[in-house]
Every structure is written in C-alpha cells, then in structure tokens.
Structure 1
Amino acid sequence: MPRIAVARLWFEGNSFAPAPTPLHAFAGREWLAGEEALRRYAGTATELGAVAAWAAARPDWDITVLRCAAAQPGGPMADDAFAAWLEEVEAGLAQGGFDGAYLSLHGACVTETDPEADLTALRRARHALGPRARLVASFDFHGNMSPQVPGLLDGASAYRTYPHTDMDAAATRALRLLDRALRGERLHGCLVKHPRVLHSFHMRHAAGPMAEIWAEAAAAEGGPILDASPFGGFAWGDSPHAGPSAMVWGTEEVPVRALARRLRDAIAAREARFAVALPGPEAALEQALAAPPGLVALLDPADNPLSGGAADTPALLRALLDRGDALPETVFAFLHDADAVRAAQAAGEGGRLERALGGRTTAAFGPPVPFAGVVERLTHGRFLNSGPMEHGAPVDLGPTALLRRGPLRVVLTSRKEAAVDPEFFALHGIAPGAVRLLANKAKNHFRAAFEARCSAIIEADCPGPASLDLGALPFRHVPAAWR
C-alpha cells in the first residue's frame, strides 16, 4: 500500500500590486487539510478534485492531505502566511513513512522577501521527505519556472489550457507519473527557458501562437516522452526566472532534453506574435458601443484579479460614469470594497448611496470616482461555479451589493474573487442576455464561460498593477535584457 502525502499552495503573486496578500486571504478562500479538503472539492474540476477521484479509485493507496492553501492572485504573499504554510507542510512530510508526495503549486508565487517561493517550497519538501521518497508536482501554465525544478522532482505536469479548464487533468498527469516512479521507474526531466517576459493576451489554447506550441508538444508525446508542458510565464511576477519555458519528462534523457529545447525554440520563433496593443478606456468604450448587436464585454485586464489586480482601479468606471444616461444597459463588475458594501447594507435595498468608489487601496492608478445611486440588491455572496473553470467549486465573495445609477449597475464585493463565472451574475439578478455592455475586471479566463455569449470582447489599456507597459514597472529581479 503506497503511503502518499498531498499538499497545495496555489498563489500567483503580482509584485506591483499595492499591498501584500495576508494569511486571512487564504483563510477566506482555501485553508484546509485532511478529509475536509477532499470532501470540499470532490467532483470539482480542480487539483484536489483529481486527488479525491484518484483516492476513490485506489482504495489501496493511503493518502494524507496536509495543508492546502489558495488565494486569488494579488500582491506578494505575506512572509508570515508563507511561513505558516511551509512550516506545517514541512513538519508533516518530516514525520516520515511516506513513499511519495504530490504538491499542487502555482509556479509564480512570490512573497514579500522571496521572489522564487515555489522553488523554496520544493527544496524544503524534498529535504523533509528524504532521498528515497518520490516527489511530483503540478503547476499553472503561468508559472515562472526555474531550470532547477526537475532536479528536485520525479515528475511534473502543467495546465494545457488557457483559460484554465484542465486543473484536474494536470493533477492526474502528475499522479500518474508518481505511480510510475513508485513502481521503480526512473524518469528524466528537463526545463529550459526563453529569456524574455511575454504578455499572456495571445496565449489562449483555442488559437494563436501558444495553441500551436501546445499542439507541437502534444504531438511529441508517446514512446519515451511522457509529458511535455510549455509555460507562458507571468509577466507581473518579479522573479529571477520570469518568462516562458518548456518542461519535458520521459524515460530517456536525450529525447527529453531535445524536445524541451525544441519547444523553447518554438516559443522564441513566435515571440513577436505575443505582442499586444490596446486602446485606452474611452476609445475602448467607443469600440464597444459600435460593436454588433448582443452582449459586448469591455474588459480591464490591468486590474484583473486573476493577474493580481486589486479590483479597485477607477479608470474604466470613470469612463462609464462620464457617459451618464447615454449608456445602454451596462453592468460594471466589480469593485472589491467591504466598506462600501457595509454602507450599502446600512442604506438597505432601495436606499440612496453617495460615496467615492475605486482608488481605495492606492491612488497610484487614479483618484476615487464620485458615485450617487440606489442600492438595488444585497446578497450573501456565495455560489457554486457552473462554468468550465473550477466547475463545481464553491465561491464566497462575502456580502455584496449591486448599485444602480441610471443605466449603469455596479457590483461591490467584500472579498476579491474574479467575476468569470455565470453564477457571479445570477447571484446579483443579472441576466447577461438583457445587458448590452458587461464591463469587467478580467482577461482571458473570462472567455471560458462568456466568449460564446458575447458578440464582441474588447480589452482596454487602463492604469493598474497588471498594466500593459512592462517597461514602466520597477522590476528588481527580472534580468533587464529579458524585458
């Protein structure tokens, strides 16, 4: 009976967000261990959902779930939060007796003082397990991966979709490699980098340059090649290993290394196609208003929570408010502002609310916007995802409020959870088919559930912590030649 440990740290750190991500942000989303973790995620399209399915299909495996932690991307993980997770997992692994372990990591975790926290976690886990136990991991496609990673592991895999709808599949692939390693098979891994930081706008799996690279990787699997995983990297993580890479695992070292280099070269050959230019918020709004009939999405990727945004920058909301009653029926999703939600609760449904919105955490991306309107709806903020991303997983926004000013409605939340699932809008009584403009702090993940529902999706270049102009950001760890 194999005795296996499982632990998870799923966090993507934006080095330029206005505030660190504290421990309570993890407690509010995922801070679980033991059977509770498997019960919560059983049947969901997540890594822990895959572990639950693996355990159910293999009753002869003894699986111990150690600390599992996740928070929405944000400012660097607070050092005390990372220490709390790491010390607990390290102690659990060091108890001994484990034949192997599976780690669900992101790959782009940075803390207040550690720009390569995932690598630190792997080193500490490897040491705690000892040399005889087997260790595998899965990663987000947006990992900023170090070439040292394969030397610490016995197998690994990464997401192969963007939007990420295959989190469970990536975990299952890693667990299959663990199974092979436990049976005594020696696997070889190699990771090579392309020394450049690239934007992820054109990294979708449906079409474009990264889709071609994924197809090349998939076609190469078979024979000695067990897993071929390209990475796009995360542009706003200030890490010494930022940027795209290719990771390959297999049974023979020479073809593994050759394929990793080939996939890296495929990324390099397409580098120019990852460049992007976007209109400013006013020009993007003009394009949205001129789009074909139907629902039009107007996105603000620079404050996208899934890129580490604060859901607090005001530029797009200001552009909408400046139009006044000339707007068509419009929803703005969303602002993360617990104080504003409490003020809306005090006013009550149907009550008036006047206060400044946005620019709460910092004025670096623009001052707050005056708002006067009506509280249309108050909610408890909880739902289950019905879309393809993290399907079935629970979401807790904390108490929320829906405000209305003329044709514009604004969603306020107490917790920062991205508005990328249909149930986010259903919770607030919003039927997308009855809306002309859906202005959202989002980017590519929004497309998983909404691309087929929209007649057009238009992205705006707004000020924010995940802004388009990388040259304006104060990088300290990314080599200058890579930017």
Structure 2
Amino acid sequence: MTGNKKRLAVARLWHEGNSFSPLPTTLADFERREWFEGAGSLARYRGTGTELGAVAAFIDANPDWDVQVLRCASAPPGGPVEDALYERIVTDMLRGLGDGPWDAVYLSLHGALVAVSEPQADLKLIRRVRDAIGATPLGVSFDLHANISPALPALVDFASGYKTHPHVDMDRTAAIVLAELKRRVAGGVRLQGAVKKIPVLLHSFNMRTAAGPMADTVNEARALCRDGVKDITVFGGFVWGDSPDAGASILSYAETAAQAQAAADTMAASLYARRAQFHATLPTPAQGLKQALAIPGLVCVVEPSDNPLSGGIGDTTGLLRELMETRADGEAVFAFLYDPALVQQAKAAGIGGRIAAKLGGRIAPHFGAPVAATVEVVALTDGRFVNEGPFETGMAVDLGDTAVLRAGRVKIIITSSCQAGIDPAYFRLHGIDLDSTRLIAAKAKNHFRAAFVERAAVIVDVDTPGPAALDLSVLPFRHLPAGMEM
C-alpha cells in the first residue's frame, strides 16, 4: 500500500478487428502505435484528446490516488489479433493486477476486438479481469462502434462509450468512467446497468453525430439522462467484426435496474425505428470523381471499403485506377498505399529518381489488380508527425518510412505501415499544400471529416471492392446472432 492513498490500476487494449481482413494484427502493429507499461510513459499523452490523456489528467488532479499503469496496447484497426499476442497482453494485465489490492480498476477497451480464434475477445478479457480482482470496482470505456454483450452489466460496475463520431470525446469518455469509479470508492452506491441489443447491422456511413439518424438518437439519449438515469451510450456496432455480440446496442446506467432497463428499451426502440436511415448507396469511383470535380476548390473523394480505421489494408486499387485515368484541373493526391518494399525502392532511387512500379494489389489482388505506372520520387520522410486534430489531438504518429511518388498530376503517398491519412499534419509531412491542392483521394471514411469537412468544398464517398465493403451479404459471417438484419 502507498500510505493512505487510494490505488487505481489502469490497463488498455484498444483494437477494432475486421474479421475479413487477410492480414492479422501483430506485435509490430502495437509497438508502432502503443505498447508500454508504467505511469512514466503517460507523459506523451498528457493534454491529448485520448483515454490516456484523461488518465494523466486524473493523476494531476488527484494527488491522493496512487495510479499504476499496467499493460497498455493499441494498434490501428486491422485484422484479428494473433492468438498468442492476445494471450500475452491479457496475461500482462493479470500479472500487473496481481500487485493489488486495488481500490478500483479502469480498462480502456475498444469493444470490437477479435482474436484469430476468439470472436468475443473483449468480453473474455473483462471476465478474466473480474475473476482476478473479485469485488473491486471495475470501470470500462468503449468506442461508439463496440459490439456490446448483454453480459456486460453483470461484470462491471460502470461502463460508457464515445458519444461522438468522428470520435472527439475519447478523453471525456474516460473521464466519465474515472469520475464514477472515484465516486464509488468514496462510498457511492453502485449504479445499475442494462444492455438492449438491436438485431440489425448498421453501416457507419450515416452514423456521424453532427446530423442524421445517429445524431438524433444520441441527442434523444442525452435528453433522457434525468430522474435517476445517469448515462446512456448508443453503440452503432462494428459491422465487419464477426461476433456473437455483433449489432447495434444501447447501454444505460441508472440508480435502479428498472430505470436502466426502461431507458435502454426506449432508446433501442428509437434506434431500430431509424434503421432504414442508416442504409447507404454510394457512387462508383468514376461517378464520385466527376461529382467532386464539378465543384471548385479543394474536393475530396474517399474510399471507405479500404479505410484502415475499418480494418482496411491500404492495398485496393478501385479508386486509384480511376483517379489515374481522370483529368483533374490541378494537383491530385492519393492517400495512400501500404507497401514497405516500394518505399525502400523509392529510397534507393532517391529524390528525382524514376521507378517502374506496380501500385497496390500486392496483398489482395482479388480486390483489384496492381496499377502499373512509371513514377517519379518527389519526397521521402521518416513518417513521424503529431496530429493537429480534432481526432486524437496531440497524438504522435509513426508511419515508418514513407515516399511520395508522382505519376503525371497525381501524387501517391506510400507508407511502411497501414494507417489512415486523416489529419492535416499527415499531408503537411509529405509536402502537400492543402491550399493549392485540387483533389484528395483517400482511403478513409467518417474520421476524415473531422479535420476536412470545413476545409473541403465537398467530400464524396465511393463504393469499391475491399475488406470493409458496403455490401455485407458477400462476406462469410460465421458468428452472427440468429435473425440479424443487414
């Protein structure tokens, strides 16, 4: 024990798993983004808009608490986590928890984690933590796209999820959970939780919370937080996570079980009634490019089917191929392709060197064959920058070595890791002047809009083949609950 201080254990495993990605998520993916133990590592998160930023703020504001940071691991969304790696991370957490007793435990999870052999990886982790800590108060934060289990309220004292999409309230969500744990340790009565599942897979295209059906539902839930109802999270779910817990859901906490259940039931009915509003149809790349380029100024065309933040692989060529054949009245930027070998080839050629390249199609050519082109190397970087935000503001990013290749009036960013180009600093790193750029074609989706909805004259989503494709009926689901609507 540390004097009379209260003891809080913090652990984190944040990963959104695309069950249909051909690439598993490995230790290298975590090490590039987040892999550490010990409170000393929190310095890089202090002041950032992240869960660990909220932990750092909690430490600063509560000197009477001894906060121990156990295994923290985060990787960009991708394929299922390797089984041995998942077990290693959980084992690290349990080892750290063995240094108790603790007054409270906080877990920062995504909620759509899948391991190669475990489709309910978050739930199994929570159960093992609960077994390890007994009756110690346990709080958990989740992403808005979590696939929530009905078993959750029996396992945790409190949980909450992001209320915004793009997610600009990661830190606020963690702060809510930490505040509730502090209240419980001070003698507050445990809140009662309820989960109501909605038997539908909701696409996230229309899940933004600035306007539309998700905004309407979230606002309704916020208004319902009164008369004993303390917190309601509307979870859209992650449609490419093949899990028995897949599908949208409502998680509510209230002073009584009846209040929590009534709130969850009310909001589930509202979300289900709006389900048709989440359906999306998208133009082809040719249609989307034509639509965008008809508007003056900076325009953006995004390819959600290979969005890394949905588990994309940075390799499909549907949009790139059409872009190469489109005449834009100015400079166009394609962000990005994940190809470490091509980056090294560009480094060997040097600035101004020319390469006969095969672009994309190296990992999964069934999503689109490689695009052959002779390109000029126009920039090389170490891939390091700091997010300007508002998504993950202040977070340091490491893409590994990168290159910018030019083919005619198109600049193509090539990276050594598969991470989305959604922040202005990403483009600035690569020498891209957004004020003089006519078109950005990006492997991205909703989070791209956080920084670009006010910068761009228009943002157009297009439909292409990929691991996060619009048409769910073509995907080989194995674990979905019976009766699930797509």
- TM-score bracket for this pair, using the shorter chain length: over 0.9
Q: Take 2:9 and 2:397, find their aligned partners in 1: how far apart are those partners?
A: 26
CA contact (8 A) 1:12 1:74 kept: yes
Q: 2:261 corresponds to which letter in structure 1?
A: R
Task: State the shift of 1:326 in Å.
Answer: 5.5
Q: Take 2:252 and 2:166, find their aligned partners in 1: how far apart are those partners?
A: 22
Give 3-state SS (helix, strand or coil) of 2:325's partner.
helix
CA contact (8 A) 2:329 2:438 kept: no
1:394 maps to 396
Percent of residue pairs identical: 51
Mapping for residues 178-327 of structure 1, pairs under 5 Å: 178-184=181-187, 185-290=189-294, 292-323=295-326
Corresponding residue to 2:156 among 153, 158, 169: 153
Mapping for residues 52-451 of structure 1, pairs under 5 Å: 52-131=56-135, 133-184=136-187, 185-290=189-294, 292-323=295-326, 328-451=330-453
CA contact (8 A) 2:144 2:235 kept: yes
Q: 2:244 corresponds to which letter in structure 1?
A: P
CA contact (8 A) 1:135 1:154 kept: yes
1:14 maps to 18
Q: Take 2:329 and 2:84, find their aligned partners in 1: how far apart are those partners?
A: 46
Give 3-state SS (helix, strand or coil) of 1:453's partner.
coil
Task: State the shift of 1:91 in Å.
Answer: 1.5
CA contact (8 A) 2:293 2:328 kept: no
Q: Take 2:362 and 2:167, find their aligned partners in 1: how far apart are those partners?
A: 30
Task: State the shift of 1:164 in Å.
Answer: 0.3
Q: Take 1:58 and 1:120, find their aligned partners in 2: how far apart are those partners?
A: 31
Runs of 4+ in 1 over 4 A off after TM superposition: none
Q: 1:419 corresponds to which letter in structure 2?
A: G
Q: 2:402 corresponds to which letter in structure 1?
A: T
Give 3-state SS (helix, strand or coil) of 2:149's partner.
coil
Give 3-state SS (helix, strand or coil) of 2:90's partner.
helix
CA contact (8 A) 1:209 1:270 kept: yes
Q: 1:38 corresponds to which letter in structure 2?
A: L
Give 3-state SS (helix, strand or coil) of 1:334's partner.
strand
- For structure 1, which runs of at least 5 residues remain unmatched after alignment? none
Summarize deviations over 1:379-437 as a string: whole Å, max 9, x none: 11101111201100100011110111111000001112211110000001101121111
CA contact (8 A) 1:327 1:408 kept: no
Q: Take 1:42 and 1:447, find their aligned partners in 2: how far apart are those partners?
A: 25
CA contact (8 A) 2:376 2:406 kept: yes
2:475 maps to 473
Give 3-state SS (helix, strand or coil) of 1:28's partner.
helix
CA contact (8 A) 1:327 1:407 kept: no
Q: 2:233 corresponds to which letter in structure 1?
A: S
- Taking a change above 3 Å as real, the CA distance of residues 128 and 293 of structure 1, as seen in their structure-2 partners, is same
Give 3-state SS (helix, strand or coil) of 1:229's partner.
strand
Return the TM-score normalized by structure 1: 0.98
Summarize deviations over 1:290-341 as a string: whole Å, max 9, x none: 2x21111100000000000001111111111123x56631000001111110
Task: State the shift of 1:36 in Å.
Answer: 3.2
How many residue pairs were aligned? Answer: 480
Corresponding residue to 1:47 among 51, 55, 78: 51
Q: 1:64 corresponds to which letter in structure 2?
A: Q
Q: Take 1:180 and 1:146, find their aligned partners in 2: how far apart are those partners?
A: 25
2:461 maps to 459
Give 3-state SS (helix, strand or coil) of 1:198's partner.
coil
CA contact (8 A) 1:200 1:274 kept: yes
Task: State the shift of 1:454 in Å.
Answer: 0.8
Q: Take 1:36 and 1:472, find their aligned partners in 2: how far apart are those partners?
A: 46
Q: Take 2:232 and 2:447, find their aligned partners in 1: how far apart are those partners?
A: 23
- For structure 2, which runs of at least 5 residues remain unmatched after alignment? none
